[in-house]
Amino acid sequence: MRGPGPTDRRVWARVTICDAMQKNPTYTSLVAVGDSFTEGMSDLLPDGTYRGWADLLAGRMATHSPDFRYANLAVRGKLIGQIVAEQIDVAAAMRADVVTLVGGLNDTLRPKCDMGRVRALLTEAVERLAPSCEQLVLMRSPGRQGPVLERFRPRMEELFECIDGLAEKHGALVVDLYGAPSLGDPRMWDVDRLHLSGEGHRRVAEAVWQGLGYEPEDTEWRTPLLLTPPPGWAARRVADARFARQYLLPWIGRRLTGRSSGDGLPPKRPDLSPYEGPAE
């Protein structure tokens, strides 16, 4: 049994814990499109590979469909133009039941960003993907609290407004991670301050899971973490120095030289193939 058909799901919704549909559909395939967020950084497995929310979601969906197939075309560091050029046609050709598209945030973090071009490319991606699947899923990406990202928030929110408009026009589902208090907490993020931790990815998987209409497994995924005493001044300075040395300076170097962390890397799962899922 497949989930509801395209004409049955042309209703836009921004998903919160209150309005998840809870119909337990049976989808038979999932294709994930995007950058490092969808690739799974920094949810590191013992073998050195990344798991991430899309793998976790696929694993759960597979328990509802014995013939479930999954592809993850995401590659870290990709800008929206690269996602459109390299992933969108491939994803559309797979004709999956569900396609997730998260892109454009890397563009907003660049010193120079043409938001008009970002919006146009995102629109192109949605227009090509929406007719190819039963349910297209878009997201308002989570935003970590802190001063570094404050300067980029206007761009991020402009991107999210575009996403909301496209979803309403094309019947896509919007999962609002940006509005989830728990995912803004720095403790949900890796030491690189750009990628979610394993727990953060687990909560994203739960959010999408509920948005697609499955019975909740964690009704508190949005709930803020319990308050704990902040680290002392010395500990914060040590962490800042480590962050600058290991992550910030290399990131700046790549920006200055036009390189990307994903240069030369293949998609995570290039083929729509059977998937049993990772351990949570």
Q: Is residue 119 part of a domain?
A: yes
Quote the pLDDT of residue 14. 59
Exposed/middle/buried for 181, CB within 10 Å: 0-12, 13-18, 19+?
Answer: exposed
Quote the pLDDT of residue 20. 42
Q: Higher model confidence: residue 150 or residue 58?
A: 58
Q: Is residue 76 part of a domain?
A: yes
Domain with 110, as residue range(s), is 6-274
Quote the pLDDT of residue 3. 43
Task: Give the rounded percent of residues in the chain with a pLDDT score beyond 70.
Answer: 76
Quote the pLDDT of residue 143. 77
Write the pLDDT tens digit of every residue in 35-68. Answer: 999 999 989 898 888 999 999 999 999 999 989 9
Query: From CA 86, how far away is CA 94, in angstroms rounded?
Result: 14
Task: Output the domain CATH number for residue 31.
Answer: 3.40.50.1110
For 121-130, 163-172, 186-195, which range has the lowest pLDDT when averaged over its residues?
Answer: 186-195
For 21-25, 151-155, 163-167, 174-178, which range has the lowest pLDDT when averaged over its residues?
Answer: 21-25
Number of domains in the chain: 1
User: How many Å separate Cα 260 from the centre of its chain?
Assistant: 18
Query: From CA 108, how far away is CA 157, in angstroms rounded?
Result: 10
pLDDT at 167 over 70: yes
Q: Is residue 54 part of a domain?
A: yes
Query: From CA 41, how far away is CA 38, in angstroms rounded?
Result: 8
Query: Which of 22, 20, 25, 21 minimizes the C-alpha distance to 3?
Result: 25
The mean pLDDT value for 112-119 works out to 95
Task: Give the rounded percent of residues in the chain with a pLDDT score beyond 90.
Answer: 61
Q: Is residue 280 part of a domain?
A: no
pTM of the model: 0.83
User: How many Å separate Cα 157 from the centre of its chain?
Assistant: 16
Q: Higher model confidence: residue 143 or residue 221?
A: 221
DSSP states of 149-160: TGGGHHHHHHHH
Quote the pLDDT of residue 111. 81
pLDDT at 236 over 60: no
Q: Is residue 222 part of a domain?
A: yes
Q: Higher model confidence: residue 79 or residue 112?
A: 79
Q: Predicted confidence band at 279 (pLDDT cuts at 50, 70, 90)?
A: low
Q: Predicted confidence band at 12 (pLDDT cuts at 50, 70, 90)?
A: very low
For 273, residues 6+ apart whose C-beta sits below 8 A from its C-beta are: 69, 70, 71
Q: Is residue 1 part of a domain?
A: no
pLDDT at 7 over 50: no
